Amino acid sequence: MLLAIDAGNTNVVFALLDGREIKTRWRIATDPRRTADEYAVWLNQLLMLEGYAMADVDAVIVATVVPRALHNLQVLADKYFKTTALVAGQSPVDWGIELDVAEPASVGADRVVNAIAAHHLYEGDLIVIDFGTATTFDVVDYRGAYKGGIIAPGINLSLDALVAAAAKLPRIAIAPPENRSVIGRTTADAMLIGVFWGYVAMMEGLVARMRAEIGRPTKVISTGGLAVLFNDNSDIFDAIAPDLTIQGLALLYERSFRTA
């Protein structure tokens, strides 16, 4: 079985796959100081709870945007799973798609992996919106080439910055407002409207501009933890793919295995 690891700025997601089928997944807060031994103790317990053992894992693939976290994940694969971790974007795991941008080496691994999975799952030109620490908007053309995109502050990051900079503003949870009014009658309501509907307006505006620039019919695919929350309050999404990054890692592993 394959252990796919998506190491983001906020969380590290581990997913156990049999072929392309995701059997189970777990997440843990990203901490570059976390050792391979700590990962192993945590994973061993979770695997047993799901009826699996560490010996069931015979391959590991990693995508990371946190370079400091990579070493300990590689040690985890070597020491506890007795295999060398494949790393997305590093030989022998070539992307297999064109990165048609000015600085291909600077594109985050998660964004490329999402592009690979989205092109595999959906036809035509695509905009992939990933709700993470940052919210990214990435364009994949009908041939599967990655064309670039947008990086915006994630909604939780925006809210944290607002609360940190304004002493009298309370901390609130991200949730749809109780009604569609955009005139808040309390401080908390005003904050929620600004953050939530402001984010919806940003997404709708950016997607409209991107579609106009692309000039062809374009589907919008969303992924990440807040995708469902916004889907209920906007009509810009054509599909929600919560496991897009993991699916992309599974595809990368298949391609690398076939060419090895």
Q: 3-state secondary structure string, 178-204?
A: CCCCCCCCCHHHHHHHHHHHHHHHHHH
pLDDT of residue 29: 94
Sign of the CA dihedral with 73 first, then 225, 158, and 175 last: negative
* Cis peptide bond upstream of 92, omega within 30: yes
pLDDT of residue 258: 59
CA–CA gap between residue 148 and residue 89 (Å, rounded): 17
pLDDT in tens, the chain (260 residues): 999 999 999 999 999 999 999 999 999 999 999 999 999 999 999 999 999 999 999 999 999 999 999 999 999 999 999 999 999 988 888 898 999 999 999 999 999 999 999 999 999 999 999 998 899 999 999 999 999 999 999 888 888 888 888 878 888 888 877 888 889 889 888 888 888 899 999 999 999 999 999 999 999 999 987 888 888 888 999 999 999 999 999 999 998 865 54
Instruction: Output the CA–CA distances (angstroms, integers) from residue 77 to 49, 74, 231, in the order listed.
Output: 20, 5, 37
Give 151's Cβ-side CA count (13 Å radius).
9
The verdict on whether 160 is a catalytic residue reads no
Strand 86-87 with 2-7, pairing = unpaired
Which among 31, 94, 100, 110 is annotated as catalytic?
110
Sign of the CA dihedral with 157 first, then 158, 160, and 161 last: positive
pLDDT of residue 175: 80
DSSP 100-134: -SS-GGGS-HHHHHHHHHHHHHS-SEEEEEEESSE
Structure tokens at 215: 């000039």
Element (H, E) at 207: helix 187-214
What is this structure's pTM? Answer: 0.90
CB 233 within 8 A of CB 200: yes
